[in-house]
Amino acid sequence: MSSPFPTLAIVGLGLMGGSLALALRHDRSPQKIIGITRARATLDAALARGAIDVASDTLDAARDAEIIALCAPVRTILAQIPQLADIARDGALLLDMGSTKRAIVQAMNALPERLTAVGGHPMCGKEVAGFDAAAADLYRDQIFVLTRTERTTARAFDAARALAQRIGSRVVELDAARHDEIVAAVSHLPYVVAANLVNTVGAFAQNDAQVWDIAAGGFRDTTRVAASDATMMLDILLTNRENVANLMRAYARRFDVLADLLNAQDEQALRETLTRAAETRRPFKRQSKF
Amino acid sequence: MSSPFPTLAIVGLGLMGGSLALALRHDRSPQKIIGITRARATLDAALARGAIDVASDTLDAARDAEIIALCAPVRTILAQIPQLADIARDGALLLDMGSTKRAIVQAMNALPERLTAVGGHPMCGKEVAGFDAAAADLYRDQIFVLTRTERTTARAFDAARALAQRIGSRVVELDAARHDEIVAAVSHLPYVVAANLVNTVGAFAQNDAQVWDIAAGGFRDTTRVAASDATMMLDILLTNRENVANLMRAYARRFDVLADLLNAQDEQALRETLTRAAETRRPFKRQSKF
């Protein structure tokens, strides 16, 4: 189909932005793609892979775009939104791909009425960052959350949905507060739990290579997300602090109870707890696709 | 090569025992394999897949074997070892595949001197249990820990090593105490952390299907091991209680510190903590093979 938005600017050419560019190229979409990032080497790599048509190291280059996809870490996006209030052309659509939504939607609500904006969060990712990790199929068959803002017109929402669907995602609409609460549970808490596991085992292992040598698939899977980019995760945790902190408290309380049951060798209660976890987890797919 | 132990009994035909039988069959090893388990359906399935030559629902059938591989959950193995003291033929080798080693080695030390015994722990597994999940390649390229007991002769150790190598494993020798301490860190703590994560998110989600719908690859990988068989894990935790409890305390203390840093929005300390986790985790393979 022909696109109603012939020019797309992608701000941030890391895993998410780079994959967006590659997915649209893979699909032979008609857009002209303007890639924007400060890193010259990334711009060169994106041009070399044919992911973008135009490379720029300044946000000003977004003035030519009908859609501006914001693909940087959350707090960078928060800084870019007010800058784009002056840069973007009339009627342009800002669509972000940040992992938390309340702060971003708030910033979008403050945009001038001549612009439109939709919050977005593709529920996929890898623990490797950067354009080198980008892949045309990153979004395929993954959920792409869209969140309405005070700058979301019907046309803007349709355009955001069309973009998400064109890269193979399944769109789910959520309001910002509910999105942030859910991802705190299913994404941010797992990350914190995994990072803390790595640091606990790291302190146990010290420099004993044999400990890591023995670590098998269970350790690798449980801790995969702990390798995520620290800057990206820091932005996520700090912009979803209350939800994450609430869930960390709930997690810690439950963990203490489990430790008490083990110390007391309370076999029946332990069995109930472990069985509940197994039965809750089993219906899910075994593993991520990456 | 021709085997010095022509008859092998496998006690327990779940994931581990079933995979052992299939791996030896796959390799066209010359052993006669006696499969022993109480579940008639499992015996029938193992016969039908050609995994075993002889099926029996009683431990007495192990009397014909030169090697007896104990592949049940740990506390079942602990009950079987003294029974085999009367059943096994002179010179027979008992090799267990339990996930903790101190209690089992202690039980093996009490065997009569006419028997030999080596502790074993293949560092692989899937979160699915039972013969249906068994696979000929489960052990390939995985570490197989061997632990000497007071009943380990040079010939017995060589036979245990040969068996582990024949199914494609890499043998690492560890004493029982060190084994149990290491696996508490790299296997049992990850399991407890994952199970607690599933139960925390489960309590948050209640019956809200949308929460699970949004859960992406990160949640799936972080919690994969939580689907493990509860009986198997209960045996492991109860026979490695002190090591696991120590590490749970260390984990909980560190988790509290992390929560405090987040609540205080201590960006620098948070960044250091998350960066340390990422840098510790990155050298590992991304994911398990299952």
The whole-angstrom separation of Cα A120 and Cα A132 is 23
Instruction: Render pLDDT for A33-92 as a digit per residue (tens, 0 to 9).
Output: 999 999 999 999 999 999 999 999 999 999 999 999 999 999 999 999 999 999 999 999
- Residue A67, Ramachandran bin (φ over 0: left; ψ between -120 and 50: alpha; else beta): beta
Domain-ending residue, one of A110, A139, A174: A174
Res B1 pLDDT > 70: no
Hey, are the CB atoms on B276 and A202 less than 8 Å from each other? yes
Domain-ending residue, one of A146, A174, A202: A174
Mean of the pLDDT values across residues B124-132?
A: 83
Residue B169 token pair: 């494993």
Q: How far is B56 from chain A (nearest CA, A)?
A: 29
List CB contacts of B242: < 8 A, sequence separation 6 or more: none
Structure letter (DSSP) for residue A89: P
Hey, are the CB atoms on A219 and B187 less than 8 Å from each other? yes
Cα B30 to the center of its chain, rounded Å: 26
The whole-angstrom separation of Cα A234 and Cα A218 is 26
**The whole model's pTM is what?**
0.92
Check whether residue A131 and residue A201 sit in a common domain. Answer: no
Cα A109 to the center of its chain, rounded Å: 21
The whole-angstrom separation of Cα B15 and Cα B42 is 11
Mean of the pLDDT values across residues A3-31?
A: 86
Helix boundaries (H) for chain A: 15-26, 40-48, 74-87, 102-109, 154-166, 176-183, 189-205, 209-214, 217-223, 230-238, 241-263, 267-281
Between residues 179 and 238 of chain A, which touch chain B (CB distance below 8 Å)? 182-183, 185-187, 189-205, 210-231, 233-234, 237-238
**A96 lies in some domain:** yes
In DSSP notation, B199-210 reads: HHHHHHHTT-HH
| Residue B63 CB neighbour total at 10 angstroms | 15
Res A150 pLDDT > 70: yes
Q: Which of B251, B254, B267, B276 to mutate to test the interface with A (most CBs of A within 10 A)?
A: B251
Q: Which of A219, A232, A257, A272 to mutate to test the interface with B (most CBs of B within 10 A)?
A: A219
- How many Cβ pairs within 8 Å bridge chains A and B? 330
Hey, are the CB atoms on B287 and A287 less than 8 Å from each other? yes
| B177 in A contact zone (CB under 8 Å) | no
Check whether residue B103 and residue B195 sit in a common domain. Answer: no
Hey, are the CB atoms on B197 and A213 less than 8 Å from each other? no
**A204 lies in some domain:** yes
Check whether residue B240 and residue B106 sit in a common domain. Answer: no
CATH of the domain at B245: 1.10.3660.10
pLDDT confidence of residue B290: 47
Instruction: Render pLDDT for B157-202 as a digit per residue (tens, 0 to 9).
Output: 999 999 999 999 999 999 999 999 999 999 999 999 999 999 999 9
Check whether residue A72 and residue A119 sit in a common domain. Answer: yes
- pLDDT grade for B203, boundaries at 50, 70 and 90: very high
**A290 lies in some domain:** no
In DSSP notation, B218-276 reads: HHHHHHGGGGS-HHHHHHHHHTTHHHHHHHHHHHHHHHHHHHHHHHTT-HHHHHHHHHH
A244 to chain B: which residues are within 8 Å by CB? 262
Between residues 87 and 106 of chain A, which touch chain B (CB distance below 8 Å)? none
Check whether residue A91 and residue A188 sit in a common domain. Answer: no
Res A263 pLDDT > 90: yes
Three-class DSSP category at B102: helix
**A158 lies in some domain:** yes
R_g over Cα of chain A: 21
Check whether residue B201 and residue B126 sit in a common domain. Answer: no
Check whether residue A192 and residue A63 sit in a common domain. Answer: no
Check whether residue B28 and residue B81 sit in a common domain. Answer: yes
Strands of the B7-11 sheet, one edge to the other = B54-56, B32-36, B7-11, B67-70, B93-96, B116-122, B143-148, B170-173
Q: Write down the mean pLDDT value for chain A.
A: 93
Nearest residue of chain A to residue B215 (CA atoms) = A186
Three-class DSSP category at B175: coil
Bridge-partner residues for B172, per DSSP? B145
pLDDT confidence of residue A125: 74
Q: Which of A124, A241, A280 to mutate to test the interface with B (most CBs of B within 10 A)?
A: A280
In DSSP notation, A234-248 reads: HHHHHTSHHHHHHHH
Check whether residue A37 and residue A161 sit in a common domain. Answer: yes
A263-272: long-range contacts (C-beta < 8 A, 24 or more apart)? A263/B241, A263/B245, A265/B238, A265/B241, A267/B234, A267/B238, A270/B234, A270/B237, A270/B238, A271/B230, A271/B231, A271/B234
Give me the residue label for tokens 């407890």: B192
**A2 lies in some domain:** no
**B290 lies in some domain:** no
Query: What proportion of chain A, given as a percentage, has pLDDT over 70?
Result: 96
Of residues B252, B276, B287, nearest to A221 (C-beta): B287
Q: Write down the mean pLDDT value for chain B.
A: 93
| A133 in B contact zone (CB under 8 Å) | no
Instruction: Render pLDDT for B54-88 as a digit per residue (tens, 0 to 9).
Output: 999 999 999 999 999 999 999 999 999 999 999 99
The whole-angstrom separation of Cα A48 and Cα A26 is 15
Nearest residue of chain B to residue A247 (CA atoms) = B200
In degrees and rounded to multiples of 5, residue B93 shows phi and psi of -110, 125
B205 to chain A: which residues are within 8 Å by CB? 185
Of residues A191, A216, A262, nearest to B142 (C-beta): A216
Mean of the pLDDT values across residues B143-155?
A: 97
Of residues B202, B259, B276, nearest to A199 (C-beta): B276
| B259 in A contact zone (CB under 8 Å) | yes
Cα–Cα nearest to A86, from A114, A105, A56, A117: A114
How large is the ipTM?
Answer: 0.92
- pLDDT grade for B258, boundaries at 50, 70 and 90: very high
- pLDDT grade for A29, boundaries at 50, 70 and 90: confident
Of residues A124, A247, A255, nearest to B217 (C-beta): A124
More confident residue, B217 or A210: A210
Q: What is the total count of domains within chain B? A: 2
| B171 in A contact zone (CB under 8 Å) | no
Check whether residue B251 and residue B148 sit in a common domain. Answer: no
| B273 in A contact zone (CB under 8 Å) | yes
**B150 lies in some domain:** yes
Identify the domain containing residue B72 by its residue range: 7-174
pLDDT confidence of residue A3: 52
pLDDT confidence of residue B286: 62
CATH of the domain at A25: 3.40.50.720
| B113 in A contact zone (CB under 8 Å) | no
B265 to chain A: which residues are within 8 Å by CB? 238, 241
**B1 lies in some domain:** no
Domain-ending residue, one of B174, B203, B228: B174
| Residue B152 CB neighbour total at 10 angstroms | 20
Bridge pairing between strands B7-11 and B67-70: parallel
Check: CB of residue A57 under 8 Å from CB of residue A82: no
- pLDDT grade for A289, boundaries at 50, 70 and 90: low
R_g over Cα of chain B: 21
| B269 in A contact zone (CB under 8 Å) | no
Cα A106 to the center of its chain, rounded Å: 18
Check: CB of residue B85 under 8 Å from CB of residue B115: yes
- pLDDT grade for A290, boundaries at 50, 70 and 90: very low
Hey, are the CB atoms on A259 and B247 less than 8 Å from each other? no
Check whether residue A184 and residue A162 sit in a common domain. Answer: no
Check whether residue A147 and residue A208 sit in a common domain. Answer: no
B101 to chain A: which residues are within 8 Å by CB? none
Res A287 pLDDT > 90: no
